[in-house]
Amino acid sequence: MNTEPSRNGSVVRWSFMLSIAIASVAVCGICLIAQSADSDNDGMNDDYELLFGLDPMNPADAALNYDDDTLSNLQEAALATDPFCGDTDRDQFPDHQDNTPLSRVYIAWGDPKFTTTDAYLYTGPAWWGGASRVGGSWNTNAPSSWVVDAAEPEGVGSLLITVDRNTLTNTVMLKLQYLDQAGASLYVDILDTNGQVVASDLFGNLIAGSGNTVTSYHVIPLTVNPAASGIRLRRGVGTVRIYASGIYTDMDQDKLDREQEEQLGTSDADTDSDDDGLSDYAEAIQYGTDPLHPDTDRDGLSDSDEISRGTNPLSADSDGDGMPDAWEIQYGLNPLVNDAAQDLDGDGVNNLFGTSGDTLMVLAK
C-alpha cells in the first residue's frame, strides 16, 4: 500500500479508506492496517493521521481527545473512527457506547477535509467500496454539498456509492439529505461491478419542489442481482444539491440498523419488539425507554400510554408528589401536578395518605 503523502493527501486518503475496507472485516477496524507506517511511533499509522488532519510527526496527539466520545485519538485510530466526531457513523450511538461504531456509511458530500478529488474519502464499514462524483462540483461552504447548476445540460452529474457484495448480502437503506428544488429531478439507479445499469429509476423523481431541505429514506434492493454493487444518484434537470447520504442494513425499516438492534437485543424483523406501541427506534433514540419492556418504569402505565399522556415513562411518579402516576390516573388526580396535599374526598385525609390503607376504598366509592 502506498504510504507516501501526495501534495493534496489524496493518495494517502484513498489507500487508507481501502485499507479500512479490507482490514475491518468482522472486528470493525480493530486490526486496521497493521503494516502501515507510523513515523512518530505513537500507535497511529500515518494514513489515519493524514486523513483526519492529525500530525504524523507529533506523538503527543495520540493521547488527546478532540470530540466528546471519551475516546483518545489512539483509541479512535484502533477503531478507525473519526477523532473529531463523537458519532462517526451518525447512528446516534456515541462511538464509546457503540459496539459497532462503523455500522453505517456516512457521506458528507463536499466536506473539504474529505473531498480533495472527485472521490469522497472517509472511514466506514468493511462492505463499503467507495464514493465519488461524476460531474457537478463540491460546495465546501457549510453546509457542504455536491451541486449541479440548472444551466448544465440534462443528464449531467451523478454520485456513485459502491459496496462489496461478497460482504454485504442484504438489501440496504439509503438515507438522503438534499435540497428539494423546484424544477429539478433526481433519480436512483443500481449498477453492477462493470458500471452497467441493473435497475433504473427505482423511485421516480425524488424532488417534489417544496424548496426545503428534505431527508428521505429508500430501500435499495441489491438482491435483485448478485452483481449489483453500485448505487447511483443521477441528476435529470435543474439545480440538484445533495448534502449527505447514509447506507445501512435495516430489515424492519425502523431507522435502527442491524448492529444497533443486536446491541439492544431487539429484533431487526420487528419495529416494536416489546409491543408497547412505540417503535424500537423511538424508545432507544427519542425517549430513552427500554425497547424490551412495555413499561420501563414499572408503574403500571405502558411507555406509549405515558408518552401520549405527557407523563415520564422513566419515572413512576412524574410530578414527584409521592403518588404513582397510575394511582393518580385511577383516582382522577393529575399525575403532572403535585396535588398530594389536597383532600379529594373531603374525609380529612390528604391525597398522599390516601394512597395506602382503607382510604383507597373510600376514594373508589
Q: Summarize pLDDT for 169-214 with one digit per residue, the tens.
A: 989 999 999 999 999 999 999 999 999 999 999 999 999 999 999 9
The answer, yes or no, to whether residue 58 has pLDDT greater than 50, is: yes
Q: What is the pLDDT of residue 359?
A: 42
The CA distance from 237 to 62, in Å, is: 47
Cell numbers 373510600 correspond to 362
The CA distance from 186 to 216, in Å, is: 13
pLDDT, tens digit, for every residue of 301-322?
A: 999 999 999 999 999 999 988 8
Q: How many CB atoms lie within 10 A of CB 217?
A: 12
The answer, yes or no, to whether residue 243 has pLDDT greater than 70, is: yes
Nearest to 286 by CA among 304, 269, 263, 301: 304
Q: What is the pLDDT of residue 345?
A: 56
Residue with the bigger pLDDT between 357 and 163: it is: 163
The answer, yes or no, to whether residue 119 has pLDDT greater than 80, is: yes
Q: What is the pLDDT of residue 346?
A: 59
**Percent of the chain surpassing pLDDT 70:** 83
Average pLDDT, rounded, for the chain:
87
What proportions of the chain, in percent to the nearest 5, are helix, strand and coil? 20, 20, 60
Confidence bin at 328 (pLDDT 50/70/90): confident
H/E segment holding residue 175: strand 172-179
The answer, yes or no, to whether residue 107 has pLDDT greater than 70, is: yes
Q: Phi and psi for 228 in degrees, rounded to 5?
A: -70, 115
349-353, long-range: CB within 8 Å, 24+ apart, which pairs?
351/323, 352/321, 352/322, 352/323
Of the ranges 11-20, 130-139, 354-363, the best mean pLDDT one: 130-139
DSSP structure class, residue 121: -
Angle value at C-alpha 111, between 42 and 71, nearest 5 degrees: 35
pLDDT, tens digit, for every residue of 348-360?
A: 555 565 555 434 4
- Backbone torsion region of residue 364, taken as left when φ is above 0, otherwise alpha when ψ lies between -120 and 50, otherwise beta: alpha
Mean pLDDT in residue range 62-76: 96
The CA distance from 49 to 46, in Å, is: 5
Q: What is the pLDDT of residue 102?
A: 98
Q: What is the pLDDT of residue 140?
A: 97
Q: What is the pLDDT of residue 322?
A: 83
Confidence bin at 21 (pLDDT 50/70/90): very low
Q: What is the pLDDT of residue 344?
A: 60
Confidence bin at 13 (pLDDT 50/70/90): very low
Q: Measured in whole angstroms, how far is the alpha carbon of residue 196 from the centre of its chain?
A: 30
Domains by residue range for the chain, with CATH: 1-84 (no CATH), 104-249 (2.60.120.260), 295-365 (no CATH)
Q: What is the pLDDT of residue 352?
A: 63
Q: Where are the alpha helices (DSSP H) in the chain?
A: 10-23, 46-52, 73-79, 258-264, 280-281, 303-309, 325-330, 359-364
Nearest to 174 by CA among 245, 253, 100, 252: 245
Give bridge partners of residue 214 from the DSSP assignment. Answer: 178
Mean pLDDT in residue range 76-82: 97
Mean pLDDT in residue range 278-285: 98
Q: What is the pLDDT of residue 341?
A: 58
**Percent of the chain surpassing pLDDT 90:** 76
Mean pLDDT in residue range 230-258: 98
The CA distance from 282 to 312, in Å, is: 14
The CA distance from 215 to 224, in Å, is: 25
Contact 94, 88 (CB under 8 A): no
88-94, long-range: CB within 8 Å, 24+ apart, which pairs?
88/123, 89/124, 89/125, 89/248, 90/246, 91/248, 91/257, 91/260, 92/285, 93/260, 93/263, 94/68, 94/69
Q: What is the pLDDT of residue 343?
A: 52
Mean pLDDT in residue range 71-81: 98
**Residue 133, helix vs strand vs coil:** strand
H/E segment holding residue 341: none
The answer, yes or no, to whether residue 27 has pLDDT greater than 80, is: no
Grid cell in block for residue 242:
445533495
Q: What is the pLDDT of residue 339?
A: 72
Mean pLDDT in residue range 100-121: 97
Nearest to 62 by CA among 46, 116, 271: 46
Name the least confident of 128-132, 153-157, 227-231, 325-329: 325-329
